[in-house]
């Protein structure tokens, strides 16, 4: 089963994807996490992507498509995956469809995590993630037990370089101007379910599982 989580920055995609991944035993594949790894390792691809990432702009399709589809072709994704952050453009969605079709696969479910932009901006200002595995915390609604330390793996928590006010504004603009077009793209195929992402984390998870019928 391939499930796409669609939502603006701060809507809780990463958190929900981790829960779903554990529940459904298929991997959580996050385009942002893949990028943060190559950027922190300063690889050639990381160096190319970094300026776009830091500004909050979309990284060019050719980089993202190769990186994400490469990850999806690994053996652990053979039974499906929770897709987080990719596709973000119609061109990426078309490439994804083309890659899945020969495997007799397609995006089976699109879950749209909907929240008011004002709520998202507030969440992002309080968001910290861990160095080792990108586990996400919110200093107000979901603080770590020990300040500055990840509960799960003990690594340091930091604020993302693209969670600055200016980059956040840009990323939300891109979401509402470009990525929302995917709701039409998948909506025409009758696969989109909308979930209220302003609820507490567990309630959002419950609603997603109901929407998936599991
Ligand atoms: P995220 O962690 O999903 O919020 O992504 C962080 C940043 O990574 C975005 O603001 C973009 O710069 C870049 N990025 C992630 N996924 C994509 C994608 N599918 N296409 C283009 N850029 C992306």
Q: Cα separation of 11 and 5, whole Å?
A: 10
Confidence of residue 204 (pLDDT cuts 50, 70, 90): very high
How does pLDDT run across 47-92, given as a tens digit for each residue? 999 999 999 999 999 999 999 999 999 999 999 999 999 999 999 9
Determine the distance separating the centroid of ligand 1 and the alpha carbon of 57, expressed in angstroms: 8
Q: Which of 32, 67, 163 to mutate to test the pocket of ligand 1 (most atoms within 8 A of CB)?
A: 32
Task: Tell which atom from ligand 1 comes closest to the C-alpha of 87.
Answer: 19
Residues 6+ apart with CB under 8 A from 184: none
**Residue in the structure block whose two tokens are 């200002």:** 125
What does residue 148 show for φ and ψ, rounded to 5 degrees? 80, 5
Residue 171 near ligand 1, beta carbon < 6 Å:
yes
Q: Cα separation of 50 and 38, whole Å?
A: 9
Both tokens of 86, joined, read 């990719």
pTM: 0.92
% of the chain at pLDDT higher than 90:
83
Residues 6+ apart with CB under 8 A from 200: none
How does pLDDT run across 83-135, given as a tens digit for each residue? 999 999 999 999 999 999 999 999 999 999 999 999 999 889 899 999 998 88
Pairing mode of beta strands 82-84, 2-7:
parallel
**Residue in the structure block whose two tokens are 């077009």:** 181
Q: What pLDDT is stored for residue 114 in this prediction?
A: 97
Q: For residues 140 and 45, which has the higher predicted lDDT (pLDDT)?
A: 45
Q: What pLDDT is stored for residue 140 in this prediction?
A: 86
């Amino acid at each position: 089963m391939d499930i796409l989580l669609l939502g603006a920055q701060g809507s809780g995609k990463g958190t929900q994807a981790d829960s779903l991944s554990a529940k459904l035993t298929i991997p959580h594949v996050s385009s942002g996490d893949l990028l943060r790894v190559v950027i922190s390792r300063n690889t050639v691809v990381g160096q190319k992507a970094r300026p776009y990432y830091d500004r909050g702009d979309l990284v060019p399709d050719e980089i993202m498509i190769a990186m994400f589809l490469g990850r999806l072709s690994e053996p652990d994704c053979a039974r499906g995956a929770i897709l987080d952050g990719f596709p973000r453009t119609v061109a990426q969605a078309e490439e994804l469809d083309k890659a899945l079709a020969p495997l007799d696969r397609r995006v089976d479910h699109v879950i749209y995590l909907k929240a008011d932009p004002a709520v998202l901006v507030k969440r992002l200002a309080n968001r910290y993630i861990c160095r080792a595995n990108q586990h996400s915390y919110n200093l107000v609604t979901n603080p770590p037990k020990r300040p500055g330390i990840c509960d799960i793996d003990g690594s340091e928590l930091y604020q993302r370089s693209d969670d600055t006010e200016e980059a956040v504004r840009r990323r939300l603009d891109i979401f509402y101007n470009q990525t929302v077009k995917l709701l039409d793209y998948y909506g025409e195929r009758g696969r989109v379910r909308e979930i209220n992402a302003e609820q507490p984390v567990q309630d959002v998870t419950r609603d997603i599982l109901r929407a998936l019928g599991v």
